[in-house]
């Protein structure tokens, strides 16, 4: 049993309607990354969607921008315990990208420029829950926050919202991504505090 440190308290607030357990709110926007920030110009940016049968469709930057665009305001929850309320984003709903895609897949495997990966159920990309975000607070998404474009899945811990997204593979079986294979949770629901394996 570790010795108590008198008077020391976690920097957290009582959970509430908007603040999941174990979190505190921040006004800043901390930058977390598993590696150097990749430089990806919109002239060579491409997003590829691959189904379990190998069917592929891809979008260049201009094709992405020609699709119907959403504006949304949402709260972010990071597994490192900060939450940020009322962040404003612009991007393309995954519903638009997945429309008409013939698949029996249950899982999605996300790949990024720079080598990052993450996994989540395909259902969590559907029904207005996920976006390819390219605009933050009215401006082009800065590279340190995942620009030119990142996945945004705000109902899960933020490591699922892969920065610098380059690909989405639809799969019949789950495969763990970068942090998931180092003990982080396969689903990552902040409201159930699914931080690590076994949570």
Site for other proteins, residues 127 to 146, rule: CB under 8 A: 144
Collapsed DSSP state (helix, strand, coil) of residue 184:
strand
Q: Is 180 helix (H, G, I), strand (E, B) or coil?
A: helix
Q: For residue 125, which phi and psi values (nearest 5 degrees)?
A: -95, -10
Using the rule CB under 8 A, give the single segment among 9-17, 92-100, 119-127, 129-137 that binds other proteins: 9-17
Count of residues of this chain found to bind other proteins when the rule CB under 8 A is applied = 31
Among residues 32, 39, 66, 172, the one that binds other proteins under rule CB under 8 A: 32
Q: Which of 178, 73, 176 is nearest to 116 (CA)?
A: 178
Q: Say whether 56 sits in a helix, a strand or coil.
A: strand
6 belongs to the binding site for other proteins (CB under 8 A): yes
Binding-site member from 81, 126, 155, 171 for other proteins (CB under 8 A): 81
DSSP string, 106-175: -EEEEEETTS-EEEEEGGGGSSS--EEEEEETTEEPPGGGTTT-EEE-TTS-GGGS-TTEEEEEEESS--
Name which position in 33, 48, 51, 60 contacts other proteins (CB under 8 A): 33
Q: Would you count residue 80 as binding other proteins (CB under 8 A)?
A: yes
Nearest approach, Cβ of residue 119 and other proteins (Å): 16
- Closest CB to other proteins among 30 and 140? 30
Instruction: Identify the CA nearest to 150 among candidates 178, 116, 187, 99.
Output: 116
Considering only 13, 18, 21, 31, the residue that binds other proteins (CB under 8 A) is 31
Q: Which of 63, 183, 191, 192 binds other proteins (CB under 8 A)?
A: 183
- Chain residues in the site for other proteins (CB under 8 A): 2-11, 26, 30-36, 79-81, 144, 159, 179, 181-184, 195-197
């Amino acid at each position: 049993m570790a010795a108590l440190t008198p008077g020391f308290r976690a920097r957290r607030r009582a959970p509430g309607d908007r603040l999941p357990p174990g979190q505190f709110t921040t006004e800043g926007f901390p930058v977390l990354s598993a590696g150097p920030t990749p430089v990806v110009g919109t002239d060579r940016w491409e997003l590829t969607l691959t189904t379990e049968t190998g069917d592929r469709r891809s979008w260049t930057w201009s094709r992405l921008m020609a699709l119907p665009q959403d504006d949304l305001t949402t709260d972010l929850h990071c597994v490192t315990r900060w939450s940020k309320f009322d962040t404003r984003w612009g991007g393309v709903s995954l519903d638009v990208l997945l429309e008409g895609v013939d698949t029996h897949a249950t899982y999605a495997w996300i790949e990024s420029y720079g080598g990052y990966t993450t996994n989540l159920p395909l259902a969590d990309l559907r029904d207005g829950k996920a976006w390819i975000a390219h605009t933050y607070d009215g401006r082009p998404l800065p590279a340190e926050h995942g620009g030119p474009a990142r996945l945004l899945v705000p109902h899960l811990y933020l490591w699922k919202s892969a920065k610098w997204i380059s690909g989405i593979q639809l799969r019949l079986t789950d495969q763990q991504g970068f942090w998931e294979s180092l003990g982080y949770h396969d689903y990552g629901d902040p409201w159930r505090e699914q931080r690590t394996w076994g949570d």
